[in-house]
């Protein structure tokens, strides 16, 4: 059984936001909407202070609180664990966003452009079906599915791997099948340093962070 997941090495991340932009470009996200971002964090107290970069996105939880609350069934979870939104069914109530402990869902109210009129690029990437509905990181499920159909291996072959992992300049983001013991992501997830965000929520995230 395939179980897609991700491991992010926080010590490798340099906070360049390339993953943020790569995701935004890949999915044609309008102005003021990002599905992932890198938080610039200062932790500790003087003189024991550290600066860290924390890439944030949907955790594709095994027990996603966003899915059962959805009143229309638009929020869904695939058998391989990817949590996604069926845009045509979403009513845009925002319930899933307040149910998510990771601030990973983004309602696109209107497709704002960066200028008075849409640029040719913005016009080409316009996705009216996403207006007024909830959107989020999809683990680039289209790339993963198309790659698998072509016999590629997600996490190893770039064309079948989420854009954030492909674009990361530091190799901090690793994607793959957590149930494949030979995959790099499975080995990293099993590393004693690996941890998930806010495990007390009981959501069983499938994005692991290697902090130290």
Q: Which residues lie near another protein (CB under 8 A)?
A: 10, 39, 41, 43-44, 46-48, 50, 52, 54, 56, 65, 67-74, 89-95, 97-103, 107-109, 131-134, 195, 197-198, 201, 209, 211-212
Q: Which is nearer to another protein, 63 or 159 (CB)?
A: 63
Q: Shortest gap between Cβ of 90 and another protein (angstroms)?
A: 7
In the complex, the smallest distance separating the C-beta of residue 54 from another protein, rounded to whole angstroms, is 5
What is the spatial distance between Cα 120 and Cα 124, in angstroms, rounded to a whole number? Answer: 6
Closest distance of CB 50 from another protein, Å: 7
Nearer to another protein, 166 or 207 (CB): 207
CA dist., res. 60 & res. 114, Å (int):
30
Among candidate residues 25, 133, 157, the one with its CA nearest the CA of residue 70: 133
**Shortest approach of another protein to residue 53 CB, angstroms?**
10
Q: Which is nearer to another protein, 87 or 175 (CB)?
A: 87
Q: How far is the CB of 30 from another protein (least distance, A)?
A: 14
Q: Is the separation of the CB atoms in 124 and 145 below 8 Å?
A: no
For 71, half-sphere exposure in the C-beta direction (CA atoms, 13 angstrom radius) is 5
**Spatial distance between the Cα atoms of 26 and 19, rounded to a whole number of angstroms:** 10
Report which of 53, 5, 39 is spatially closest to residue 179, judged by C-alpha positions: 5
- If residue 136 lies in a helix (H) or strand (E), which one and from where to where? strand 133-136
First to last CA, the chain: 30
Q: What is the DSSP letter of 121?
A: H
Of 144 and 207, nearer to another protein (C-beta) is 207
**Nearest CB to another protein, comparing residues 100 and 168:** 100
Least Cβ distance, residue 197 to another protein (angstroms): 6
Smaller CB separation from another protein, 7 or 67: 67
Report whether 145 contacts 80 (CB < 8 A): no
């Amino acid at each position: 059984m395939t179980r897609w997941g991700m491991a992010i090495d926080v010590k490798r991340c340099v906070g360049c936001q390339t993953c943020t932009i790569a995701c935004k470009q890949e999915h044609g996200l309008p102005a003021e909407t990002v599905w992932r971002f890198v938080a610039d964090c200062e932790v500790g107290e003087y003189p024991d202070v550290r600066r860290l970069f924390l890439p944030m996105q949907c955790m594709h939880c095994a027990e996603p609180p966003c899915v059962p609350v959805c009143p229309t069934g638009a929020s869904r979870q695939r058998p391989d664990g990817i949590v996604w939104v069926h845009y045509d069914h979403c009513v845009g109530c925002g319930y899933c966003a307040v149910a998510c402990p990771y601030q990973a869902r983004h309602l696109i109210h209107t497709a704002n452009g960066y200028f008075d009129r849409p640029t040719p690029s913005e016009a080409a990437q316009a996705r009216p079906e996403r207006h007024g509905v909830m959107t989020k990181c999809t683990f680039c499920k289209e790339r993963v599915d198309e790659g698998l159909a072509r016999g590629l291996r997600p996490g190893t072959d770039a064309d079948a791997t989420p854009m954030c992992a492909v674009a990361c300049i530091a190799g901090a983001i690793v994607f793959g099948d957590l149930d494949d013991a030979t995959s790099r992501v499975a080995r990293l997830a099993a590393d004693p340093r690996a941890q998930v965000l806010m495990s007390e929520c009981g959501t069983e995230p499938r994005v692991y962070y290697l902090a130290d």
